[in-house]
Amino acid sequence: MHTLTVSELAAGLRARKFSSLDLTLHFLGRIERLGPELNAFVTVTADRALDDARAADEALAKGAGGPLTGVPVAHKDIFCTDGIRTTCSSKMLSGFVAPYDATVVSRWRAAGTVLLGKTNMDEFAMGSSNETSYFGPVRNPWDHKRVPGGSSGGSAAAVAACIAPAATGTDTGGSIRQPAALTNLTGIKPTYGRVSRYGMIAYASSLDQAGVLARSAEDAALLLEAMSGFDPNDSTSVDRPVPNYAAELNQPLKGLRVGIIREFFGEGLDPAVEQRVRAAIGLLQQEGAVVRDVSLPSLPLSVPTYYVVAPAECSSNLSRFDGVRFGHRCEQPKDLLDLYKRSRGEGFGAEVKRRIMTGTYVLSAGYYDAYYLQAQKCRALIAADFARAFEDVDVVLSPTAPTAAFELGAKTSDPIAMYLNDIYSIAANLAGLPGISIPCGFVDVGGKDLPVGLQLVGPHFGESRLLAVSHQYQQHTDWHKRVAPGYA
């Protein structure tokens, strides 16, 4: 039952082959048995899941269910869930019970999904390996010695290990796509403004966007549609109709114009990863896609641009954690300044403090123009490169990450090495573009098969095309159907 896709589970539920309660108990059992070794969940909401499942079964019995009714899901612990602990994997929020649901949570709930729990993540979504979590690292189901990627590492591990059929993620610089690549999932980050961020704890507000981690493009289409759409509670939400993504999956590959990003096939790319991505390009070509080389010369500026813009916004966003209204408060503060400093010093982990301080520095008097303003200009150059490329091609393609999953601890002492892991994913966030990562093969590392992902990026609001290309590719390949040994 657990290896079925969301669409298969939904069809089984509607045909009454199994009840949502059966399904939910099955997944809760797997979470109990397999969850701890992966450390994928921060909070398991078993009682809530059973209530949701019973409600879904009632709806289904009346023939009232929708395409997701009764399907169990997990939420990244960055989304507020009314009455349920919401931690952002930080000591700062380890006791925080959200007073309302994020829009993403309420939309999936309205669609009839069952909430299994809240998944582990890098603290405040700052990280690329899920090692900055206050609740400890998440392990990759494909090799427990390796990271699942981050920051949506718990969601990725849970879905890859089939202990949740699908999960939400958020992506500020690759936090959906990179873990999807490292765990053999389909992960989509939609256009900035496509999905409401109300109730999604903010990291870098001009980059953050919510999305989906799933085991197929078809599932991603169903789930993305259910969370998308205008929300007056988010001032960056775009008022624009949501396409029926699932109905648009059959757009043919024939005639599709694919641009291969020259700058993303250079130094630092593992040759074995490149070979798998090149093989996928060959398949697209064989199916009638027109492939051409494209150059986006400003893309090498992406990572340094991001590490000015994101920390700057984070230093502002995280100023709300002051030890007064919610979150961790230090013991026996001697005055207000001491309360602020110690509450924040104790409540935040090392990487979060590092980014807050980086941001504070680049925004400080005398440095603003040299760093922040210059980064905003570089960002404009990157966005212009993409806009130019999309005059000639429908999508651009690259690897999602330069290597397969790396070992736990391999990059924790070197922040720059960790940052460079997002070298191919960050540009899409800077330009506000939608991106998707899909499985495209495996590399053998020390006798273990590790997944490789390829990334497609499209023009603003081009999710439908990205999903369709991915779905068509998945009709010709079965990489996405492979499940890590021991979890099938």
Among 20, 175, 184, 305, binds other proteins (CB under 8 A): 305
Q: Does residue 392 bind other proteins (CB under 8 A)? A: no
Q: Does residue 335 bind other proteins (CB under 8 A)? A: yes
Range in contact with other proteins (rule: CB under 8 A) among 182-190, 257-265, 355-363, 478-486? 355-363
| Residue number, 405 or 431, with CB nearest to other proteins | 431
CB of 272 to other proteins, least distance (A): 27
| Residue number, 97 or 291, with CB nearest to other proteins | 97
| Residue number, 145 or 341, with CB nearest to other proteins | 341
User: Which DSSP state fits 242?
Assistant: P
Alpha-carbon gap, residue 88 to 99, rounded angstroms? 15
**Sequence-ordered list of residues with C-beta below 8 angstroms from that of 215, at least 6 positions apart, any chain:** 5, 6, 159, 165, 166, 185, 186, 480, 481
Q: Does residue 350 bind other proteins (CB under 8 A)? A: yes
* Per rule CB under 8 A, count of chain residues that contact other proteins: 72
Range in contact with other proteins (rule: CB under 8 A) among 17-25, 249-257, 338-346, 467-475? 338-346
Among 56, 92, 375, 393, binds other proteins (CB under 8 A): 375
Q: Does residue 235 bind other proteins (CB under 8 A)? A: yes
Best CA proximity match to 88, nearest among 326, 303, 325, 312 = 326
Q: Does residue 62 bind other proteins (CB under 8 A)? A: no
Q: Does residue 304 bind other proteins (CB under 8 A)? A: yes
Among 61, 110, 247, 370, binds other proteins (CB under 8 A): 370
How does DSSP assign 365-384, residue by residue?
A: TTTTIIIIIHHHHHHHHHHH
Q: Does residue 410 bind other proteins (CB under 8 A)? A: no
Q: Does residue 15 bind other proteins (CB under 8 A)? A: no
Q: Does residue 380 bind other proteins (CB under 8 A)? A: yes
Tokens 């369709």 belong to residue: 468
CB of 447 to other proteins, least distance (A): 34
| Residue number, 13 or 308, with CB nearest to other proteins | 308
Range in contact with other proteins (rule: CB under 8 A) among 4-12, 104-112, 349-357, 434-442? 349-357
| Residue number, 84 or 111, with CB nearest to other proteins | 84
Tokens 């980086």 belong to residue: 358
CB of 283 to other proteins, least distance (A): 32
| Helices (H), ranges, 80-174 | 103-110, 153-160
175, 130 Cβ separation under 8 angstroms? no
Classify the C-alpha dihedral 469-470-474-476 as positive or negative: positive
Among 30, 215, 342, 411, binds other proteins (CB under 8 A): 342
Subset of residues 136 to 175 that bind other proteins, contact rule: CB under 8 A: none
CA dist list (Å): 11 to 8, 18, 19, 468, 469:
5, 10, 11, 21, 23
103, 231 Cβ separation under 8 angstroms? yes
Q: Does residue 457 bind other proteins (CB under 8 A)? A: no
Q: What residues form DSSP beta bridges with 398?
A: 455
Alpha-carbon gap, residue 232 to 250, rounded angstroms? 32
Q: Does residue 298 bind other proteins (CB under 8 A)? A: yes
Classify the C-alpha dihedral 475-477-479-481 as positive or negative: positive
Q: Does residue 407 bind other proteins (CB under 8 A)? A: no
Among 79, 142, 192, 203, binds other proteins (CB under 8 A): 192
**Sequence-ordered list of residues with C-beta below 8 angstroms from that of 481, at least 6 positions apart, any chain:** 215
Q: Does residue 198 bind other proteins (CB under 8 A)? A: no
Q: Does residue 287 bind other proteins (CB under 8 A)? A: no
Q: Where are the beta strands (DSSP E) in 99-237?
A: 114-119, 167-171, 186-189, 209-214
Active site residues: 76, 151, 175
CA dist list (Å): 39 to 144, 161, 258, 349:
11, 12, 38, 18
Q: Which two tokens stand for residue 348?
A: 């935040």
Tokens 């990157």 belong to residue: 382
Give me the 81-100 binding string for other proteins, x by CB under 8 A, dash otherwise.
--------------xxx-x-
Subset of residues 424 to 453 that bind other proteins, contact rule: CB under 8 A: 430-432
Half-sphere exposure of 61 (CA within 13 A, CB side): 9
Q: Does residue 320 bind other proteins (CB under 8 A)? A: no
Q: Does residue 12 bind other proteins (CB under 8 A)? A: no
Among 378, 397, 405, 436, binds other proteins (CB under 8 A): 378
Range in contact with other proteins (rule: CB under 8 A) among 47-55, 114-122, 228-236, 465-473? 228-236
Helix (H, G, I), strand (E, B) or coil at 337: helix
Classify the C-alpha dihedral 173-96-120-48 as positive or negative: negative
Q: Does residue 341 bind other proteins (CB under 8 A)? A: yes
In degrees and rounded to multiples of 5, residue 154 shows phi and psi of: -70, -40
Classify the C-alpha dihedral 29-178-321-347 as positive or negative: positive
Q: Which two tokens stand for residue 61?
A: 């019995």
Q: Does residue 299 bind other proteins (CB under 8 A)? A: no
Alpha-carbon gap, residue 348 to 341, rounded angstroms? 11
CB of 387 to other proteins, least distance (A): 9
